[in-house]
């Protein structure tokens, strides 16, 4: 199959000098991790600004919780939740991603100023998603699409989490979604980011297997986002503190691992310790020399 030639340049944010830190901003009343603390629009905007001040490179704004047991919200409600937050933060110069599985929300988010469409379903929930992605990519050369591995909603996680070789099967299924986009011919694959989807259709050791084998995804020519933050598979590594979520310490450690491996970005709730860790990693690189044999 011949490759399509595109006239546009790849956005600079897809070619960063180091791993980026994506701050999670849930504009929902029922998030599994923050219990709706940022559901109010003003509170959400203030929290986004706080994460940016702490060093976040971009903010991922979502208006629908994908946690098990939560009901779906209408597209109109989702748009009402995220659009004003995206508009306010993008208007201040922030790079914004919108976490949505719905094509109309993706279009509204782009119009509000989002540059990245973060679709945890990889285009499997809304059959119009790829068409809208192609449309907005054609309108704006700065727009990219984040395609996550997905087998179904988290309510079906136990039934769907069946693998013989998790990291390889996840890549094979991601590749199928990429091939669908390639065959369409109207989506610029240079502006597609992939995410192995920790915690989605996976359990326990399956997540660890995917994470430990990031090279499976990193060598494929696509920027790789990894989102370990506060996921269920980290429950055995909780640290009980008043100030932080119980899984933030192990999240920061794994985010550092992802940065060390060369991930494009890590998606986290607690920004500051991850930013500090990546800064330290960049400092180490200044002094690293290739191994020499004496």
pLDDT digits over 51-68, tens only? Answer: 999 999 999 999 998 766
Report the run of H or E that residue 86 belongs to, with start and end. helix 75-91
- pLDDT for the residue numbered 242: 61
Annotated catalytic sites, by residue?
A: 231, 267
Yes or no: say if 22 and 57 are a contact pair by the CB < 8 Å rule: yes
36 — pLDDT class (breaks 50, 70, 90): low
157 vs 217, which has greater pLDDT?
Answer: 217
Residue 71: count other Cβ atoms within 10 Å of its Cβ. Answer: 7
Is residue 2 pLDDT above 90, yes or no? no
CA atoms within 13 A on the CB side of 2: 3
């Amino acid at each position: 199959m011949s490759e399509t030639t595109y006239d546009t340049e790849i956005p600079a944010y897809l070619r960063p000098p180091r791993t980026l830190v994506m701050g999670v901003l849930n504009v929902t009343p029922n998030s599994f991790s923050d219990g709706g603390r940022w559901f109010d629009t003003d509170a959400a905007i203030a929290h986004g600004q706080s994460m940016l001040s702490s060093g976040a490179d971009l903010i991922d704004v979502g208006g629908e919780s994908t946690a098990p047991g939560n009901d779906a919200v209408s597209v109109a409600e989702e748009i009402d939740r995220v659009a004003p937050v995206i508009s306010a933060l993008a208007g201040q110069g922030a790079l914004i991603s919108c976490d949505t599985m719905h094509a109309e929300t993706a279009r509204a988010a782009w119009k509000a100023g989002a540059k990245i469409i973060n679709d945890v379903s990889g285009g499997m929930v809304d059959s119009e998603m790829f068409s809208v992605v192609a449309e907005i990519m054609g309108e704006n050369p700065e727009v990219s699409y984040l395609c996550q591995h997905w087998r179904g909603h988290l309510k079906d996680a136990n039934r769907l989490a069946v693998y013989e070789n998790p990291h390889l099967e996840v890549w094979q299924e991601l590749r199928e979604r990429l091939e669908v986009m390639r065959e369409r011919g109207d989506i610029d694959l240079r502006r597609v980011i992939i995410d192995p989807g920790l915690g989605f259709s996976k359990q326990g050791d399956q997540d660890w297997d995917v994470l430990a084998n990031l090279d499976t995804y990193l060598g494929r020519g696509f920027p790789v986002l990894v989102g370990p933050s506060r996921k269920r598979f980290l429950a055995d590594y909780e640290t009980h503190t008043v100030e932080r979520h119980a899984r933030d310490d192990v999240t920061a450690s794994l985010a550092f691992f992802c940065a060390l491996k060369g991930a494009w970005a890590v998606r986290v709730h607690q920004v500051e310790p991850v930013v500090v860790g990546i800064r330290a990693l960049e400092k180490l690189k200044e002094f690293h020399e290739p191994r020499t044999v004496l």
